[in-house]
Amino acid sequence: MVPLCFEKSMWTVVAVLAVMEAGGAFTLTHPSQPEARLQMIGLDVGAKVVLTSGSHALLGSRVAPTAKVHVASRETFDGEPSPINSLPSVPASTTMYIFSTSGSTGKRKGVVISHTNYTSGALPLSVEVDYDEGSRVLDFVSYTFDVIIDFMMCTLILGDCTYVSSDEARIDDFSGVIRSMNVNMAHMTPSVARVLEPHNFPQLKILGLGGEAVLARDAANGIVDVAEHNCLVPIGAVGELLVEGPVVDHYSFIENLT
């Protein structure tokens, strides 16, 4: 079980893939989380290895004091010979990640998701959300929200590329990132979308809103069509929500270990 502690960076995606391919399971954290919380996560998941970035190596070593800390960065791999070990074949029942949450009750939980659990939801989801080989996806959401795993994985499964906006660009030049990277799919909170005014970005084909209540005016940009059952009904109207499948059906929890 490997906690990842990176600022927003492409190296998180590299680390996620590395852990999965090695047959391990990852848990995502962000260096801005309180150190005590990071340590609880390290303890809850029984971390033996921590992967972190060059700039957070010290923090990474404090996440789990007895774990081995590895830095994933360009410098780590520069001049390194290609590894000769072949990777194990990973059974589908292997745990893929644990997502730690403080839960609505304030009691800590870890949601344990296997490869089977995850792919049963992610494969149909990536089709439904219209990921395709032209998808240029903005990786904007914080690592403390589990939807970020979908943005990484669905893009890798079906999409073209993912653009990871740095923590600074997320705050300072968000519109610049969308324009310069020619992003055509982005997911964000409605309040960020309100500031951005998505109609300023004609190349943005898919805008996912979540994490906060969506107001009628947020969704007024074309997704509402009452005559078409595949489209959302207007906010406030009576609708139906179907949620099913292994990824929501059955969670295993690590409950409050301390």
Ligand X SMILES: *[C@@H]1O[C@H](CO)[C@@H](O)[C@H](O)[C@H]1NC(C)=O
Residue 117 CB, nearest approach to ligand X (Å): 4
What distance in Å separates the CA atoms of residue 149 and residue 29, rounded to the nearest whole number?
12
**Binding range to ligand X, per CB under 6 A, among 44-52, 75-83, 110-118, 132-140:** 110-118
Strand partners, 4: 28, 51
Q: Is residue 119 part of the contact set for ligand X (CB under 6 A)?
A: no
What distance in Å separates the CA atoms of residue 33 and residue 148, rounded to the nearest whole number?
16
Strand partners, 252: 112
Q: Is residue 250 part of the contact set for ligand X (CB under 6 A)?
A: yes
Residue 116 CB, nearest approach to ligand X (Å): 4
Q: Is residue 54 part of the contact set for ligand X (CB under 6 A)?
A: no
CA dihedral angle for residue 98, residue 248, residue 225, residue 179, rounded to 10 degrees? 10
What distance in Å separates the CA atoms of residue 97 and residue 115, rounded to the nearest whole number?
8
What distance in Å separates the CA atoms of residue 23 and residue 86, rounded to the nearest whole number?
12
Choice from 169, 246, 253, 254 touching ligand X (CB under 6 A): 246
Q: Per-residue x/- mask for ligand X, residues 67 to 106, rule CB under 6 A?
A: --------------------------x-------------
What distance in Å separates the CA atoms of residue 8 and residue 70, rounded to the nearest whole number?
17
Choice from 12, 114, 119, 135 touching ligand X (CB under 6 A): 114
What distance in Å separates the CA atoms of residue 192 and residue 211, rounded to the nearest whole number?
11
Strand partners, 99: 111
Residue 249 CB, nearest approach to ligand X (Å): 4
Q: Is residue 117 part of the contact set for ligand X (CB under 6 A)?
A: yes
**Binding range to ligand X, per CB under 6 A, among 109-117, 131-139, 167-175, 187-195:** 109-117
Residue 92 CB, nearest approach to ligand X (Å): 6
Choice from 239, 249, 255, 257 touching ligand X (CB under 6 A): 249
Residue 151 CB, nearest approach to ligand X (Å): 22
Q: Is residue 116 part of the contact set for ligand X (CB under 6 A)?
A: yes
**Binding range to ligand X, per CB under 6 A, among 64-72, 142-150, 222-230, 244-252:** 244-252
Residue 88 CB, nearest approach to ligand X (Å): 16
For 29, 89, 112, 126, 226, the CA distances from 58, given in Å and listed in that order, are 15, 33, 27, 36, 54
What distance in Å separates the CA atoms of residue 16 and residue 158, rounded to the nearest whole number?
17
Return the SS3 of 32: coil
Residues that bind ligand X (CB under 6 A): 93, 114, 116-117, 246, 249-250
